[in-house]
Structure 1
């Protein structure tokens, strides 16, 4: 037996192993999803218009296919275009595509707490608690539906105060929707002229705008560098500090008046759960999570729902025949002597179809909330590494011609069958799908239905422009879609 022979054999074996491993790794690299060729260090940063990322990533779908990839600096970003591929990722492979990416702004502001930008057990417990609390919302003397109905009447009173002139209603819609969230988390609503309420709403609106602006994507490319220079992040962090201070004051007030046998709102429910787990060293029911959960609810629920409501009104002003048909259905099913209720919706197929079409057409969150892969995976033949950011292009889903006949046209017939009955379409996912779907979907859809039907029940609305001159395209260069400014006048029906 000659040792050199064994040594040579071992050397050959090791070289073969290393070459095979290199080939496999190279093969994996070659199987990355297609996309523009990245530059060293910069990736595709110079090739992407960050002011118009929505259109840029939709074009990726047309050019490279439903699964594509961009390199934002060192970060790999996977773009999913079309319902079929989003469904496959978020439903069929949900165990892989249900994480959130590590984004600079949420990480610096929320410090890893809350339910929207966390993963693992913290996310599971906070989401489960929030869904359960909202679903079983029978706190105090009023149900969640009753709180929305009350706010709809308050909104109507505010509109009546302005009935002698044209005015921009969008801020009133923000006040109304924000008041619903206040009722859910703080128990009480605010007067529309309350200074603390107005200041808080102004902070939230500016904060939401900054978080969803193209700047936030640019900041995420080099946060450790950019945070040392003056910029929008300074205003953002100051806003968050003020909001946290406001929320903590509310929490302290609740602690002093807490009755565990009669929870009034979300804060009470959380504090009760916290007391129940006070001896659990691993509990997630701690102040930090409560503060961030409340801010998540405000930022996510207020802006998106109020924007949808604002967009709904300008669309109905654009199409007066659709509005008249909705009002006829409201008059027939509800009448004028009581407030609309959720039970009415099933009896109102045309109104239901219009509201679904409003959600689809307005496309408020076109990029979707980004996700991340929890492990290395092969998806549709492409290698996607662990930790890759994933953008589900919700706009491409809601405008998928495979599921909607004329996706770029506003048409309630998308949700009506040949007999005029409401029909469901699986590609209707404005709130996303899967384990990370928006936990406030039920509340948002309730608000839009009850607010809209109440306003159309009580008022005739008129725009300061003729219907053919009304522009229902969104304001350009925004990460989230918002309607063009408009003015209305109201008269009692």
Structure 2
């Protein structure tokens, strides 16, 4: 009995040790990876990464090993890129070699290699190319999507007027309104703010964002085979994702029943038509699984990033009323109060454009970016990175690079203004990443940020709940992203 229990205890340890030796030796063989901290058996450098401040830990390692170094998460090596020059050289100058998506087991378990964000190879290329083309056809970057945004903004403004100058948390209204824009493109409809089923979908996404911070969910990325056998928060994350898929699947089935092959109404229709056209093509990546995951990818990206940016932006304007005041002046001068804002106004409003860019830079929404991978054995700055190696471009180090921004720790629209007050571009502005994996929703997000912000400030002045000097603009962390701290404000109608 004792012998049996001893074997039961030591077999997992022996298996893990053998797995470490196999993977670690395989990763090291024939490679000339950048230097980095020495990894421990099995754990790699995990003990050097405090989960509360992974970004800070990575930057300290950068100070010790330079802008390009190797870190081991568990037994697998990850090449970390820090600073604008290193990130740009990889993602832009050698974009094809760095266009792979680094494997995250938690994402592999949910998306299973389908969709846009966590797929690779020919499937990724086919679906991304189709999605970009289709989103453009449905107005991304054209007037039709502008009309959809402006229509949704009118619903939002009505909700905001109903606050009657009382304190409220803007999170709910902003998330619902921004979500409805992408819903109109992907699902072909918008939802009432009180729709319970739609709120359930948004709640599931929020819950999973919070769960990504959990220790066991993070450990799943290093030891998926083992943790698959145990209950815990990671299993709840998988259940939530399955419910999200079921939501989209119901919409897909409804679309199938009323599909007109000659007249697509939205992204789902266009994808279903593509599936019909590609039937019998053995190399096609267009199937129901890719449709479901791609729709969720676009919905998630089109909801969370833009709504969080708007919410954080309003908090920053509460903190700095002089900046809000200058936007009001520009709105009065260019737009006035007798018509709604439009995208043609943007080129005439350099200060507002600079503020929006500075909001995105300063809040640093995805500080660690999303993992990439090299698609072939790659020479980079004299090092050899083996095919398939995960590469982590730290976008925070780009947005806060003192060589690119004069005072990166300060919120200052002057970072994007020339000496004559004209808007000034900066190549180190990468909130949508850069290169081949750049976010496909960049055009939509830019349009939404301008139209939502100018429409709100055309109609209201922001009033904080307390003293402005007490407003805390430091972020809270949720998984891979930064969030503004919870706050309330009043809106004073003009």
Cα gap change, 1:47 to 1:142, in 2 (>3 Å): closer
Deviation at 1:32, TM superposition (A): 2.5
Q: TM-score, normalised by structure 1?
A: 0.91
Deviation at 1:442, TM superposition (A): 1.0
Secondary structure in structure 1 of the residue aligned to 2:41:
coil
Please name the residue that 2:95 is paired with: 94
Please name the residue that 2:126 is paired with: 125
Cα displacement string for residues 155-214 of structure 1 (whole angstroms, at most 9, x for unaligned residues) = 111111112421111121111111111111111111101111111110111123334666
CA contact (8 A) 1:51 1:214 kept: no
Please name the residue that 1:191 is paired with: 192
Cα gap change, 1:478 to 1:250, in 2 (>3 Å): closer
Cα displacement string for residues 127-148 of structure 1 (whole angstroms, at most 9, x for unaligned residues) = 1111111222249x98111111
Cα displacement string for residues 88-130 of structure 1 (whole angstroms, at most 9, x for unaligned residues) = 0111222221111222111111122111111111000111111
Please name the residue that 1:9 is paired with: none
Secondary structure in structure 1 of the residue aligned to 2:483:
coil
CA contact (8 A) 2:48 2:57 kept: no
Please name the residue that 2:169 is paired with: 168
The answer as to 2:248 corresponding to 1:247 is yes
Please name the residue that 1:415 is paired with: 416
Mapped to 2, the partners of 1:138 and 1:418 lie a distance apart of: 35
CA contact (8 A) 1:251 1:267 kept: yes
Please name the residue that 1:3 is paired with: none
Greater mean alpha carbon deviation, residues 248-257 or residues 359-368:
248-257
Mapped to 2, the partners of 1:76 and 1:27 lie a distance apart of: 8
Mapped to 2, the partners of 1:203 and 1:478 lie a distance apart of: 15
CA contact (8 A) 1:273 1:285 kept: yes
Cα displacement string for residues 416-440 of structure 1 (whole angstroms, at most 9, x for unaligned residues) = 0110000111111111110001111
Pairwise CA RMSD of aligned residues?
2.0
Mapped to 1, the partners of 2:246 and 2:62 lie a distance apart of: 43
Please name the residue that 1:375 is paired with: 376
Greater mean alpha carbon deviation, residues 411-420 or residues 129-138:
129-138
Deviation at 1:27, TM superposition (A): 11
Please name the residue that 2:428 is paired with: 427
Runs of 4+ in structure 1 deviating by more than 6 angstroms, as ranges, are 25-30
Mapped to 2, the partners of 1:388 and 1:228 lie a distance apart of: 27
Please name the residue that 1:298 is paired with: 299
Q: TM-score, normalised by structure 2?
A: 0.91
Greater gyration radius: 1
Please name the residue that 1:436 is paired with: 437
Mapped to 2, the partners of 1:54 and 1:41 lie a distance apart of: 22
The answer as to 2:308 corresponding to 1:286 is no
Deviation at 1:247, TM superposition (A): 0.6
Please name the residue that 1:151 is paired with: 152
Please name the residue that 1:385 is paired with: 386
Secondary structure in structure 2 of the residue aligned to 1:143:
helix
Cα gap change, 1:31 to 1:113, in 2 (>3 Å): closer
CA contact (8 A) 1:114 1:290 kept: yes
Cα gap change, 1:138 to 1:416, in 2 (>3 Å): closer
Greater mean alpha carbon deviation, residues 202-211 or residues 71-80:
202-211
Please name the residue that 2:347 is paired with: 346
Please name the residue that 1:457 is paired with: 458
CA contact (8 A) 1:186 1:267 kept: yes
Residues 20-419 of structure 1 mapped to structure 2, 5 A cutoff: 31-138=32-139, 143-211=144-212, 215-419=216-420
Mapped to 2, the partners of 1:378 and 1:251 lie a distance apart of: 44
Cα displacement string for residues 214-258 of structure 1 (whole angstroms, at most 9, x for unaligned residues) = 654321110111122221112111111111111111011111222
**Gaps spanning 5+ residues in structure 1: where?**
1-24
